[in-house]
A and B are shown apart, each in its own frame.
Chain A
Amino acid sequence: MGMTMSQKILAAHAHLDSVKAGQLIDAELDMVLGNDITSPVAVKVFEGANAPCICCPEKVSMVMDHFTPNKDIKAAEQVKTVRNFANKYGVKNFFDVGEMGIEHALLPEKGLVGAGDLVIGADSHTCTYGALGAFSTGVGSTDMAAGMMTNKCWFKVPSAIKFVLKNKPAKYICGKDIILHIIGLIGVDGALYKSMEFVGDGIRYLSIDDRFTICNMAIEAGAKNGIFPVDDVTREYLNGRFTREIRAYEADADAEYERTIEVDLSALKPTVAFPHLPENTRTPEAWGDVKIDQVVIGSCTNGHISDLRIAADILRGRKVAKGVRCIVIPATNTIWKQAMHEGLFDVFIDAGAVVSTPTCGPCLGGHMGILAAGERAVATTNRNFVGRMGHVDSEVYLASPYVAAASAVAGKLASPDEI
């Protein structure tokens, strides 16, 4: 029996000729990631185990992105704990304010992760790097600590679902609509414990940013990882950033998939996940009249330069509706600078939006845009659980940057062709 892309990467890192679904393996890691929320717990576990040193400090990254710039004294203390640990144990890939960005945009940008890698991160959206042809998955803080101690992690080899993406995406359709459509189709546990492998003639129309968005939200379908094959788009992105060898894996012709699902990208409509689960997806005819108080354009899901360009295209020459707060958050300093040089900030500010420093901030109800009781936000973020962006009685509608920007102008949930 052949192997999937994901299984081939796991086999290579476990130094095995082949693996099969359900097999338990120990595999070597290329990168272990933590952030300012999960690293303090990992530090506690690591120090509690009296480990003498980090096995491979160059294979550890710590990104202070969730509650930074430190939102309060406790957040500052947490970052200080991690900073001291990084200094003590020689973690060079420690990124604080000024160097940091949202972790899942920053690590690819810095070439710290790439094709063929095996990556674990104490953050559920670590699955993002599948866009680069890596096997990448979220774990907890104890797994992160064990990864730092041994440079290894145990895995149950996942089975997989194949998504064949066909044709060119329709107008106003980007990675966010594609992944929301898929989550709507299979549900928030539709890929539980499994790989989501994306192939088909449609993927050549998807930018690397679209692919980041799609793999980023694989976890919202319960998946262990999401992955794209390596092609010219991947190589162009990795070129000049990723200095290790590119290891491109394709699934064997006889690889076993539990299901194959075809998605016609040319037939998709702007797709929004209504509260309070990412699977509650609706297309414009079913949106109704949803008045909004806030729009957030950013996050590890949609804070890339192409997302900001999309938002600027919609907002150019228009105004954010009175009573709506529109917050734009470039995911990294490099993206921030690029957006500034391209004049996107003029567009945002003239429209009445604000531009924040890179942070996860409002996505998880941390800071920089928290909702009051009864308030509603359209956000390009990844979760709309109860209380996710603030008060337990607030609501989050997950959408693409097209829809988020259009909604900011309309003052209600709106499709870009409505404005």
Chain B
Amino acid sequence: MKVCGTVFKYGNDVDTDVIIPARYLNTSSATELAAHCMEDIDKEFVHKVKPGDIMVAGDNFGCGSSREHAPIAIKTSGIALVIANSFARIFYRNSINIGLPILECPEAVAAISAGDTVSCDLAKGVIVDETTGRTFTAEPFPPFIQNIIDKGGLIKSISKN
């Protein structure tokens, strides 16, 4: 699958409390959660994001709480891919499990700027900054995890087994 969109860029240690603050966790409605995504560090995000856009961040993205509401909010807001230097481990699992595409690629993170247009062939992990013309390749997932992604998430992967 190929995605292409505008980049929203954030720094290191973006925690799940800022991705979706706990004051909104009294619902599990994906659209309600998405309406407050990132609001404590970027009030403009929900007004600017368009389906297919891409989030780029530094180290340890999604640290903190285990709330699956965080990747659900990001995915439902329209974000098609998150590229980071590294992901906190529960956020990593949750994203794979619910089918939010994520890639680890420090070279891309260093070179891509907020507002750039970026495209990515998710299956190949090839990231192209269409604004600058530069190309990057993310680390491929281990086959075990690629299988969960290919089957459409954890529940579908265990149901078919």
Binding site for B on A (CB under 8 A): 24, 37-38, 40-41, 44-45, 48-49, 66-67, 71-72, 74-75, 78, 121-124, 126, 138-143, 145-146, 149-150, 154, 188-189, 192-193, 219, 222, 224, 277, 364-366, 383, 385-388, 392
Query: Residue-by-residue, is B12-29 near A (CB-CB < 8 Å gives 1, otherwise 0)?
Result: 010101100111011110
What's the minimum C-beta distance from A387 to chain B, rounded to whole angstroms? 5
What's the minimum C-beta distance from B59 to chain A, rounded to whole angstroms? 6
What's the minimum C-beta distance from A136 to chain B, rounded to whole angstroms? 13
User: By the criterion CB–CB under 8 Å, are A388 and B154 in contact?
Assistant: no
Closest to A25 in B: B144
What's the minimum C-beta distance from A354 to chain B, rounded to whole angstroms? 22
User: By the criterion CB–CB under 8 Å, are A366 and B23 in contact?
Assistant: yes
**A-B contacts at CB below 8 angstroms, number:** 131
Residues of A near B28 (CB, < 8 A) are 40-41, 44, 78
Residues of A near B72 (CB, < 8 A) are 41
Contact of A189 among B13, B27, B153 (CB under 8 A): B13
What's the minimum C-beta distance from A140 to chain B, rounded to whole angstroms? 4
Residues of A near B17 (CB, < 8 A) are 364-365, 383, 385-388
Known: A74-B26, A364-B17. A222 touches B88 (CB 8 A): yes
User: By the criterion CB–CB under 8 Å, are A142 and B153 in contact?
Assistant: yes
User: By the criterion CB–CB under 8 Å, are A143 and B159 in contact?
Assistant: no
Quick check: which of B75-83, B93-101, B111-119 contacts chain A, the rest being far away?
B93-101
Closest to B59 in A: A189
User: By the criterion CB–CB under 8 Å, are A364 and B66 in contact?
Assistant: no
Known: A38-B68, A138-B66, A222-B88. 18 other contacts (CB 8 A): A24-B144, A37-B25, A41-B68, A49-B155, A123-B66, A140-B66, A140-B97, A146-B97, A146-B155, A150-B158, A222-B89, A364-B17, A364-B25, A366-B22, A366-B25, A383-B64, A386-B15, A386-B41
User: By the criterion CB–CB under 8 Å, are B18 and A138 in contact?
Assistant: no
Q: Mind listing 6 A-B residue pairs with CB under 8 Å? A: A140-B94, A143-B154, A146-B155, A277-B13, A366-B22, A383-B17
Contact of B15 among A49, A366, A385 (CB under 8 A): A385
Contact of A71 among B21, B26, B71 (CB under 8 A): B26
B6 within 8 A of A: no
What's the minimum C-beta distance from B61 to chain A, rounded to whole angstroms? 10
Known: A222-B63, A386-B41, A387-B17. A365 touches B23 (CB 8 A): yes
Most chain A CB within 10 A, of B68, B93, B97, is at: B68
User: By the criterion CB–CB under 8 Å, are A149 and B158 in contact?
Assistant: yes
How far apart sit A76 and B95, CA to CA, in the bound complex (Å)?
Answer: 28
How far apart sit A78 and B144, CA to CA, in the bound complex (Å)?
Answer: 34
How far apart sit A49 and B65, CA to CA, in the bound complex (Å)?
Answer: 25
Residues of B near A149 (CB, < 8 A) are 155, 158
How far apart sit A193 and B60, CA to CA, in the bound complex (Å)?
Answer: 11
User: By the criterion CB–CB under 8 Å, are A139 and B66 in contact?
Assistant: yes
User: By the criterion CB–CB under 8 Å, are A392 and B97 in contact?
Assistant: no
What's the minimum C-beta distance from B100 to chain A, rounded to whole angstroms? 11
Contact of B155 among A48, A126, A277 (CB under 8 A): A48
Closest to A34 in B: B66
Closest to B97 in A: A142
Residues of A near B21 (CB, < 8 A) are 365, 387
Most chain B CB within 10 A, of A122, A192, A224, is at: A192
Residues of B near A44 (CB, < 8 A) are 28
User: By the criterion CB–CB under 8 Å, are A142 and B154 in contact?
Assistant: yes
What's the minimum C-beta distance from B81 to chain A, rounded to whole angstroms? 19
User: By the criterion CB–CB under 8 Å, are B18 and A124 in contact?
Assistant: no
